Amino acid sequence: MKVLVTGGAGYIGSITGELLLNEGHEVTVFDNLEYGHRDAIDPRARLIEGDLRQPESILGAMREVRPDAVMHFAAYALVGESMEKPERYFRNNLVGGVNLAEAMLACDVGRIVFSSTCATYGQPDTVPIREDTPQRPTNPYGESKLMFEKVLGWYRELHGMRATYLRYFNACGATERLGEDHTPESHLIPIVLQTALGQRAEVGIFGDDYDTPDGTCLRDYIHIVDLARAHLCALTSEATGPFNLGTGSGFSVKEVVETARAVTGRPIPARILPRRPGDPARLIAAADKARDVLKWTPSYTDLRAIVASAWAWHQRHPHGYGR
């Protein structure tokens, strides 16, 4: 298939692009390179530099490429920033998404796989979280993703657009070539590994008074190769609509730090800090729908293997991409 990958220079988009190419698909990356990395784009892919916020930019790319399907990763994804600058999130993630969907309609492109998030659920009353768990986002980032899910839901119903929304839990890990490099970095595993490398003095643990076994937050860490594989399953499946992507197991912040100490053999100093506003205590997926319908099974269920893959990449790229 010819696949247009928005945000294909980013963390999850670049790895999915690589996998698509390995499976024989043709990939065009559409990215403004604001946060993405040119070096993360597979040399076999074509890059169109453009911005979803400009309708003519994405329409021009869609007309030129005429893809069979779109994979839509491009978005702002910093929860904390979204609380300070919500307009950035609604403009980029929602308006940009609408521009993309309109360009698809104009060019008769009827298939989209959209990167959504467990942040659309907010603070769930029950875990594990199912696809029909009520979605009540607690920040504009999650809200912007939910709003675009709804736009696609209407386009599914009214235009017959085949839209799949993949709700990622905590993406992490790396491949041989591609890994996690955000500026600024806010995610736990890269921060822990930067501390192991001596680039940070310590890890701040945001709260140890949650209602969890060790008092720190539980998250469902899902390896990006597994996430990328789920996109390929979604692309070739007849099924549409929402799918949670997680392993179904939760690990605490303290367990992540401990695991990283074991994997790296470095001390990794850590200090308890106040809670980070908006953090739910537990985010763990019920991912049986993706297993049953998409025939997707995560291969990385061991936190140690996940952290080891990220550590290997961080050691090879101590300063990230191209620096």
What are the tokens at 144? 């912007």
Give dist(CA 113, CA 69) in Å, integer: 8
Task: CB nearer to ligand UFG: give 87 or 238.
Answer: 87
Other C-beta atoms closer than 10 Å to the C-beta of 291 total 14
Task: CB nearer to ligand UFG: give 233 or 281.
Answer: 281
Task: CB nearer to ligand UFG: give 215 or 241.
Answer: 215
Looking at beta carbons, which residue is closest to ligand UFG? 217
CB of 68 to ligand UFG, least distance (A): 27
DSSP state letters, 190-246:
HHHHHHHTTSSS-EEEE-S-SSSTTSS-EE-EEEHHHHHHHHHHHHH-S--EEEEES
CB 7 within 8 A of CB 73: yes
Task: CB nearer to ligand UFG: give 15 or 47.
Answer: 15
Selecting among 11, 35, 141, 300, the annotated active-site residue is 141
Task: CB nearer to ligand UFG: give 36 or 67.
Answer: 36
Instruction: Please tell me whether the peptide bond between 43 and the residue prior to it is cis, using omega within 30 degrees of 0.
Output: no
Query: Quick one: which H or E segment has residue 88?
Result: helix 86-89
Name the DSSP letter for residue 266: S
Residues that bind ligand UFG in the complex, under the rule CB under 6 A: 77, 79, 117-119, 168, 170, 186-188, 191, 203-206, 217, 219, 253, 276, 279, 283
DSSP state letters, 40-71:
GS-TTSEEEE--TTSHHHHHHHHHHH--SEEE
CB of 31 to ligand UFG, least distance (A): 17
Q: Does residue 35 carry a catalytic annotation?
A: no
DSSP state letters, 107-164:
TT--EEEEEEEGGGSBS-SSSSBPTTS--B-SSHHHHHHHHHHHHHHHHHHHH--EEE
Query: What torsion do the CA atoms of 129, 192, 185, 91 make, to the nearest 10 degrees?
Result: 0
Task: CB nearer to ligand UFG: give 189 or 225.
Answer: 189
Backbone angles phi, psi at 2, to 5 degrees: -90, 120
- Which residues are known to be catalytic? 141
